[in-house]
Structure 1
Amino acid sequence: MIGGLFQPMHLFIILIVLLLVMGPSKLPQLGASLGKALRELRRSLDNPEQPADQGDVKK
């Protein structure tokens, strides 16, 4: 059921909606933030024993 969710046409429609909502100037920032979040997720899944990065935590 979910296998057909990410077809190229669906992704194209999502991209067009994001472009209309966010505007062309914010789209690169959105992509960079999404890429960074995915990298952090993959890193945490690969090394579950390592503690989270404490550099971003405010005291």
Structure 2
Amino acid sequence: MGRLGLPEILVILAVVLLLFGGKKIPELMKGLGSGVKEFKNAAKDDQPADKKEEEVK
């Protein structure tokens, strides 16, 4: 398996556009962005107790 080049990326984008349509893609990206944001917040809140104490000082 090699790296993804420009032709491969264009084919993937075309397939996604055909599957979901132009109106659905912004909604999918919004959902993906909020999911990543929630994951980052959960990861930040899940720090060990020692590290949290150092940040408070």
Same fold (TM over 0.5): yes
Task: Return 5+ residue gaps in structure 1 as ranges.
Answer: 50-59
- Which structure has the larger Rg? 2
Task: Return 5+ residue gaps in structure 2 as ranges.
Answer: 48-57
Identical columns (%) = 30
| TM-align CA RMSD | 2.3
Across the two proteins, how many residue pairs are aligned to each other?
A: 46
Higher helix share: 2
Scaled by the length of structure 2, what TM-score is found? Answer: 0.59
Scaled by the length of structure 1, what TM-score is found? Answer: 0.57
Query: Secondary structure, in 3 states, of the residue corresponding to 1:24?
Result: coil
